[in-house]
Amino acid sequence: MKRASLAGITTTTIFYILCGCVGYPAFGNDAPDNFLTGFGFYEPFWLIDIANICIAIHLVGAYQVFCQPVFSFVESSCLKKWPENKFITREHPITVPFVGTLYLNLFRLVWRSAYVVVTVVLAMIFPFFNDFLGLIGAASFWPLTVYFPVEMYIARAKIPKFSITWTWLKILSWTCLAVSLVAAAGSVEGLIQSVKIYQPFKSGE
């Protein structure tokens, strides 16, 4: 797990640094949101296809990570509130060839489908994907990726205060906080600009 996390974070960091440190000096504020297609050409097509496949795989997994806690909370709450309701509690067995028997709960089917439909419609109404993504990323980067891991490491390793290691970890943490604040400010500014030309169900890109 440690090696996988190291490889994943290292790869992601390299790409982010390349986009930020090469893209912005080269294009400034005119740097496109999508470096693969933002310049008006779609060649080589296979590279674009591979990138889109990777994005789809990433988003499918990420969507599940964020949605499953919501699903679990709503379903468990409804089960506690209406334990006698057959629509919520009943499991319908369905035999699937070569798979076996699967159990279908109509409440889960309706509720989860409705949730997905609503989130998709909201995403289409407010097509500020990159700006919202930047704002969410800026808001979650420092506490989840830097602050809590650093503090847990300091507590677990029992690093004494004001030691060299403790000092550098704190410098790293505060530096990343500053980066997050600047990124959040940039995302808010991007949202403000997007609202000025906003049209429902139309992408601003």
Segment 85-137, tens digit of pLDDT: 988 889 888 888 888 888 889 999 999 999 999 988 887 777 677 777 788 88
- Most confidently modeled range among 18-22, 46-50, 90-94, 108-112: 108-112
Beta strands in the chain (DSSP E): 92-96, 100-104
**61-77: string of b/e by CB count within 10 Å (b at 16+)?**
eeeeeeeeeeeeeebee
Q: Indicate the domain borders of the chain.
A: 42-125, 127-205
Q: What residues contact 4, with CB distance under 8 A and at least 6 apart?
A: none
Report whether 86 contacts 72 (CB < 8 A). Answer: no
Please tell me which residue, 42 or 169, carries the higher pLDDT value.
169
Quick one: pLDDT at residue 21? 79
Percent of the chain whose predicted confidence (pLDDT) is above 70: 95
Q: What is the spatial distance between Cα 186 and Cα 192, in angstroms, rounded to a whole number?
A: 10
Segment 160-182, tens digit of pLDDT: 999 999 999 999 999 999 989 99
Q: What is the spatial distance between Cα 190 and Cα 131, in angstroms, rounded to a whole number?
A: 6
The per-residue pLDDT of the chain, averaged, comes to 84
Average pLDDT over residues 9-13: 81
Quick one: pLDDT at residue 203? 59
pLDDT at 155 over 60: yes
Percent of the chain whose predicted confidence (pLDDT) is above 90: 27
DSSP structural state of residue 160: P
pLDDT confidence tier of residue 204, bands split at 50, 70 and 90: low
pLDDT at 205 over 60: no
Predicted TM-score (pTM) of the model is: 0.62
Average pLDDT over residues 142-167: 91
Quick one: pLDDT at residue 102? 86
pLDDT at 201 over 60: yes
